[in-house]
């Protein structure tokens, strides 16, 4: 289930959106304030963001600007009321993937989500020499059963490569199961991975089959494995080494035959040296490493990728969209910090507001900047973040575990923030 963030200050609307997102087969997280979302969440962990337009402290447009300034190119759907069409158009210019006018039906929401969710197509577009070599390598790897570690920046297509490997492997007739290690809390991730028996802990009202068992005879994708809690890494290592899992509350280990593919946008070896990732697990996962280059290193792929996305949208919408020479040149000259994901979202956004089937460059598109933090009545968002974390630590007597629980963060995040503030040596 892909994780979706819902930001809406109206409780009943947020609840309705959450239920609708679940019906679409997605995993919702609800935040009632965009400021809280910026402070407490890693927005890169989400495949889609739904935000209301009118909210106190920070409206939907300001929220959209802020996440783009931070280099987050997750697709965003803006929800707006009647009489604010101008705001909706402005949202599209700022980088929103689409907008919905209230009131809207479940079918309308579902249709928009299906159109803009990151593509899971496993046909690889490779015109650049570096990508041609990568595709040839992936083809050889797919035929084997070797463990693969995919590294690369966010949006480069790591999951697409993983699905391609599974599709062309001897396990293709079995399940491909993905789990985002960054999007699930530490307390739930163990149960998600290994399962639990009924009554194993408070709230375990029924038996749950874990991802390892669901992927038996197939492929398990450990997405953003670098974000897994250190304590849980030992259990993952054992499952991989012994080819068996222990359900929480179970009486005996359960054998599993699962191929492992892991992804990360971090340098795992540096994470090992920093003490945040187990060295033995690193070598278990790093059997066949594949680095997926960012789009700036394979500019020859930009036009073919754009044509691929345009053809897909044309087929869905029953139209015949094409690129003008000016549009093609614009795509080549523009920086794609969000890589293939940003390019796909941009193509969709362009098609939605296009006045003709021949696509032209935008006239006054918002330029993304990452250097200038947005000012708020209380200072920059960074200032607010620092104040919130330090005040919570003061309230808990500098107990990092209690502070993390109150803030909805991990203890590791608290430690990293204190190091950033040059307060990492302060005693509890």
Rounded Cα–Cα distance for residues 216 and 318 (Å): 40
Mean pLDDT, to the nearest integer, of 291-297? 96
Task: Note whether residue 428 is domain-resident.
Answer: no
Instruction: Please state, in angstroms and rounded to a whole number, the distance separating the CA atoms of residues 160 and 135.
Output: 12
The answer on 232 and 266 residing in a single domain is yes
Instruction: Say if residue 259 is in the same domain as residue 197.
Output: yes
Structure tokens at 94: 């700022």
Q: In this structure, are 240 and 349 located in the same domain? A: no
Q: Among 291, 320, 344, which residue terminates a domain?
A: 291
Instruction: Pick the closest to residue 129 from 290, 298, 294 (CA basis).
Output: 298
Number of domains, the chain: 4
Q: What is the pLDDT of residue 383?
A: 66
- Identify the band that residue 368 occupies on the pLDDT scale cut at 50, 70 and 90: very low
Does 409 have pLDDT greater than 80? no
One domain for residues 58 and 203: no
Q: What is the pLDDT of residues 277-290, one digit of tens each?
A: 999 999 999 999 99
Q: Is the pLDDT reported for residue 61 higher than 60? A: yes
Instruction: Choose one of 116, 138, 163: the last residue of a domain.
Output: 116
Which residue would you say has higher pLDDT here, 36 or 411? Answer: 36
The answer to whether residues 219 and 344 belong to one domain is no
Alpha-carbon gap, residue 230 to 161, rounded angstroms: 27
Residue 380: its pLDDT value, please? 53
Which of 24-38, 63-77, 361-375 has the lowest average pLDDT?
361-375
Mean pLDDT for the stretch of residues 172-178: 90
Q: How far apart are CA 343 and CA 25, in angstroms?
A: 25
Domain that holds residue 401: 375-420
Is the pLDDT at 201 greater than 60? The verdict is yes
- Give the mean model confidence (pLDDT) for residues 140-162: 93
What mean pLDDT value characterizes the chain? 85
Q: Please compute, for residue 58, the number of CA atoms within 13 A of its CA located in the half-sphere on the CB side.
A: 24
Collapsing DSSP to helix, strand or coil, 290 comes out as strand
Chosen domain end from 254, 276, 291: 291
Residues 134 and 226 in one domain: yes
> Three-state DSSP class for 343?
helix
Q: Quote the radius of gyration of the chain (alpha carbons, Å).
A: 22
Q: Report the CATH number that the domain containing residue 348 is assigned in CATH.
A: 1.10.8.60
């Amino acid at each position: 289930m892909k994780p979706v963030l819902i930001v809406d200050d109206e409780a009943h609307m947020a609840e309705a959106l959450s239920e609708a997102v679940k019906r679409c087969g997605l995993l919702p997280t609800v935040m009632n304030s965009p400021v809280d979302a910026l402070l407490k969440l890693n927005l890169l962990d989400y495949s889609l963001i739904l935000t209301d337009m009118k909210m106190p402290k920070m409206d939907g447009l300001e929220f959209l600007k802020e996440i783009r300034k931070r280099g987050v190119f997750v697709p965003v759907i803006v929800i707006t009321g009647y009489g604010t069409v101008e705001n909706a158009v402005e949202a599209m210019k700022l980088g929103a993937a689409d907008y919905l006018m209230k009131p809207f039906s479940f079918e309308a929401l579902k249709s928009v989500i299906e159109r803009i969710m990151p593509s899971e197509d496993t046909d690889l577009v490779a015109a650049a020499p570096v990508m041609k070599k990568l595709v040839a390598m992936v083809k050889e790897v797919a035929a084997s059963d070797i463990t693969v570690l995919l590294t690369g920046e966010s949006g480069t297509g790591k999951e697409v490569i993983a699905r391609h490997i599974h599709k062309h492997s001897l396990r293709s007739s079995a399940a491909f199961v993905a789990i985002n290690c960054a999007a699930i809390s530490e307390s739930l991730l163990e149960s998600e991975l290994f399962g639990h028996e009924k009554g194993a802990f408070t709230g375990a009202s029924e038996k749950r089959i874990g991802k390892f068992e669901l992927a038996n005879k197939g492929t398990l994708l450990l997405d953003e494995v670098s974000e897994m809690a250190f304590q849980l890494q030992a259990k993952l290592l054992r499952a991989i080494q012994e080819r068996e899992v222990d359900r929480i509350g179970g009486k005996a280990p359960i054998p599993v035959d699962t191929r492992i593919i892991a992804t990360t946008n971090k340098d795992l070896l540096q994470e090992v040296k920093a003490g945040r990732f187990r060295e033995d697990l690193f070598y278990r996962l790093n059997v066949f490493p594949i680095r997926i280059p960012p789009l700036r290193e394979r500019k020859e792929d930009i036009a073919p990728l754009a044509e691929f996305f345009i053809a897909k949208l044309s087929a869905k919408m029953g139209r015949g969209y094409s690129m003008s020479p000016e549009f093609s040149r614009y795509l080549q000259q523009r920086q794609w910090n969000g890589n293939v994901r940003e390019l796909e979202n941009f193509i969709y956004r362009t098609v939605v507001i296009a006045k003709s089937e021949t696509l032209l460059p935008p006239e006054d598109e918002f330029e993304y900047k990452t250097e200038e933090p947005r000012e708020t009545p209380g200072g920059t968002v960074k200032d607010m973040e620092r104040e919130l974390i330090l005040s919570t630590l003061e309230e808990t007597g500098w107990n990092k575990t209690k502070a993390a629980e109150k803030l909805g963060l991990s203890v590791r995040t608290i430690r990293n923030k204190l190091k950033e503030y040059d307060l990492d040596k302060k005693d509890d």
